[in-house]
Amino acid sequence: MKDKTTVKPLFDNVLVKPLEAEAKTASGIILPDSAKEKPQMGQIMAIGDGHIDPKGNKRPMTVRVGQKVMYKKWGGNEIKVNGQDWMIIEEKDILAVII
């Protein structure tokens, strides 16, 4: 059995599993992988402990594990976790929670 990697983000970083990009256009045309736009939505898989402000106070995270979020297109770092593409982004790069 293979060991599974566990990632625990530090500070105000968030581990996000991107949602799959649309495979079809609205009119039904199937897109090849090279034409698919990078998704800007994903599900939070893990969060850091929060940010320490200049006065030394801990600011807790406003997002929670399991939430679906929209994030900045060019924010974050792509990583591979257990063979899957994920993102580590700063909480400030999250634009909205999808309800």
Is 32 part of any domain? Answer: yes
Confidence of residue 1 (pLDDT cuts 50, 70, 90): very low
pLDDT tens by residue, 14-31: 999 998 765 666 676 766
Six token digits for residue 11: 């500070």
Is 4 part of any domain? Answer: no
Is 40 part of any domain? Answer: yes
Say which CATH number the domain at 80 has.
2.30.33.40
Which pLDDT score is estimated for 34? Answer: 56
Which pLDDT score is estimated for 15? Answer: 95
Domain hosting 44: range is 13-98
Number of domains in the chain: 1
Is 6 part of any domain? Answer: no
Nearest to 9 by CA among 87, 84, 83: 87
pLDDT tens by residue, 27-78: 767 666 555 556 689 999 999 999 888 998 989 999 999 999 999 988 789 9
pTM score:
0.77
Is 2 part of any domain? Answer: no
